Amino acid sequence: MGIEISGSGSRQSVALADLNGNILQRIRRPLEYVPDTQTVLQLLDDMLAEVMHPQRLQDGRVLRVGVAVGGLVDATHGVVRTLHHAHGWDNFPLQDYLEERLDIPCIVDNNANAAALAEAQYGAGMGERFILYVGLGRGIGGAMIVNGKIYHGATCSAGEIGHLLVKEHGPKCSCGNFGHLEAIASAQAISRTMIGLSVEHPETEAAIRRVTEARAERITAEQVFRLAAAGDQVAQQIVEEVHTYLGIALANIVHLMNPGIIILGGQVAQAGELLLTPLQARLRDLCLPVASENVRIVQGKLGTEANIVGAVTLALQDI
């Protein structure tokens, strides 16, 4: 069984899968607000009861539960350290909580780690030994897969590439610091910057209204990339910044890790070639040929399913 909890706690999914990772049942219960911890846990209880109904399980049983959490996770102890976009989760022992309630072994990890593992096993990274995964969602998560395993580091914070410093005196990050990659290249940063800059550019404001059907606050990162490709100068300036600073971050990681493939997931990756092609060129410019000439940058294959498939993949490890 897989469980997904988003960084704000407002999006949860529960999925039941077979031993080959095929999802048999799935329930989603998104909320329109950022709920408190108790509300999320209650909702999860209801969803789990529904998915684990004897009729659905037929003669089967649940062997393990994997949980993909959109925040900092101590995967060794199954503890949620913090969610950046919700309160009340600090040091929450989610693994103990679930194991006690369900009486089933449980494994908890960060959602980027889970998504990376899923892309490695079932998606764009199949057959690759050294994988860098970058989840460009509301925030930016990252993960490294080495020989089929998640590389966690000493305190389970490896791969937090959203907090790489790429621009001194840059915009404020969700962690409180300044100039981090997440503050420039996350989906939220791209949409916010676009709306902010459009105030002084009537033609950009009109373009945003057109593509969002007059709901400017709903502009997506992918739409900003498309407007840039169509010639909007404000959008072009934003996309140029994303390419510049994401390029710097990736080039630095490529020199450190020497991955065979870089998989981009999350909403920003929906921009597809508009994001990938310039990034590939930038890596060639910035990296030693020996490090960059064979590295491929691709869009994840699992799309919006990556986190929940990731949760299932966590549960299936070594089974």
Residues at the interface with Zn ion (CB under 5 A):
163, 173, 175, 177, 180
- For the bound state, the minimum distance from the C-beta of residue 140 to Zn ion, rounded and expressed in Å, comes to 9
- What is the Cα–Cα distance from 262 to 3, expressed in whole angstroms? 25
- For the bound state, the minimum distance from the C-beta of residue 188 to Zn ion, rounded and expressed in Å, comes to 13
Q: Which is nearer to Zn ion, 103 or 168 (CB)?
A: 168
Q: Which is nearer to Zn ion, 232 or 241 (CB)?
A: 241
Q: Which is nearer to Zn ion, 35 or 71 (CB)?
A: 71
Q: Which is nearer to Zn ion, 105 or 170 (CB)?
A: 170
Q: Which is nearer to Zn ion, 180 or 243 (CB)?
A: 180
- For the bound state, the minimum distance from the C-beta of residue 164 to Zn ion, rounded and expressed in Å, comes to 9
- For the bound state, the minimum distance from the C-beta of residue 183 to Zn ion, rounded and expressed in Å, comes to 7
- For the bound state, the minimum distance from the C-beta of residue 234 to Zn ion, rounded and expressed in Å, comes to 25
